[in-house]
Structure 1
Amino acid sequence: MSLRLEAEEAMGLRFPERNGEAVIRFDETMEVPHGAETLMRGLYRNPEEIKKGFKTLHQETATLLEIILPRRARIREWLEELPEQPKEAESFLRETSQKIQQQDRKVSHMENELISKLAESGMDDLFPLPLSVFAQISYSEPCAKIFLRPLGRLAEILKLNPEIVRQVVRIHLLYSLLIIGGQDLDGQPFSRGNEDSTLIGIASFFALKHMKKANPEYQLCYTEWVKAWGGKSYLRLLPQESSIEKVRAAMVFWRRNPELSWEDAWNGLRSLDMEISTGPRPLASWPIR
């Protein structure tokens, strides 16, 4: 079964068709969208300044070695044959020791400066990023735009498989597009406005359900991608232990009734489910009058 048909079956929705083909489009582009500059730059807040720091440290370390290595060679000579004049050795050791201490202080100062700059860079400085850095969805038509270069950069930084990252993003977007572009069994379309948080939460629920049937690496790449744009809170909209049937029913009800929030649709379904499950009390339990 194709991914599209599997998604349609899971959600109880169908993409509209034109000439026998689903009306859905994925555009993958190599352009770098606005807001992705920090990601493309990488983990370093100011990479050129860091490079300059390493260059300076390298030069000063070389200067330190220019003092230490000749001193080491001279000491090795004296292991075999002592210097003619003890004062010569004393003067040499004092002079080189002073130079080493001065240069070592200079190197240590530069090291500390560089360490401070490195400490300012890292994951916390880079993430989270806007979701639009990786993909954008059109509510007016079933269309998604995927930015491959930011996704590739993310995979590189987090040491993930770039092709699997691309696939899990497509899976997430497919479920998102099906919610806003699909028709339910009665042919009813999506009748709400832009409600990204609920859309993401529902799409994530179904996407994760799908990932659990695939290689564990898919789940890892998906959760890391979601974390990269601060989407973990959306995953809490629907716990994974929730029944697919209940989520599907609540989603269809929510899609059809723009006056209701997702909480109204979800809680209403749960209340109805409780009424059905409890039902009227058995006659034997009724009080006898």
Structure 2
Amino acid sequence: MPHNPIAAPTMTLLTFRFAPSPNGQLHLGHAYSALLNQDLARQAGGRLLLRIEDIDLTRCTPEFEQGIYRDLAWLGIVWETPVRRQSDHFADYEAALQKLVAKDLVYPAFMSRGEIRAHIVEHETAGKPWPRDPDGTPLYPGLDKVLSPGERRRRMHSGEPFAWRLDVEKAVAALPPGGLSWREAERGNWAAAQEVKADPQMWGDVILARKDIPTSYHLSVVVDDALQEVSHVVRGRDLYHATGMQRLLQAHLGLPAPLYLHHRLIDGPDGRKLAKSNRDTGLSALRENGATPADIRRMVGLG
């Protein structure tokens, strides 16, 4: 595996991480995030970890993973080894899920995509708008929550497909008084981080695990950040609202909350958010066309 390693520290340091998914090629937006993480880690005298978030085994490939290592090494990113690959640690996420099961904060959800769509269409046809999460996805109807424990067990043991969903209302109600918040910083100014009120209910009853993918982004990221002792999470503004749900999971799993910085996004030539399918902003294509790492820094505003 190509890498650009440095020795692990012998003392506790501030810890940053860059965590791409190997489901496409890295683009300028990834370059900005990786470089910013490295710059801030160096300013703080801290560590930079690389984590491969490859829980989606149908879309993530070894070829894309190798491309991540090549692109980051070309940029001059220096990370510690070994790299944590999420697909190697499903047991960690299963253990966290079982803690939530034991607290009765999750439930097996049996509604298919077609049933969900039909329920929402019927609701909206009656002139009632259906709530959606910050990404625009309709919230889960949650009709399964009224099933008795015996009926749940019967349907699970019969082999009926289901996903484990968080009962967000119950999880929020079980919190101590005062609610949840996280500390959000402007670029590098950690001492002046501001408290932001978390609103996990905007996401509804999110999936935490399913048969084909035994974990979810929300669950795996909070487990990994805790196990890797990540102290500073620097990531794109598109994940700002996700922090509320992750704070809820941290609270119920007894995990620490890092400091957060949600940085600006790099737009494509058409003014929209970059996608891994955009060849004109892909790092490998830019490199093949003669761009240098210094050019990339200037292009993302870090020159």
TM-score (norm 2): 0.22
TM-score (norm 1): 0.23
Q: Which has the higher strand share?
A: 2
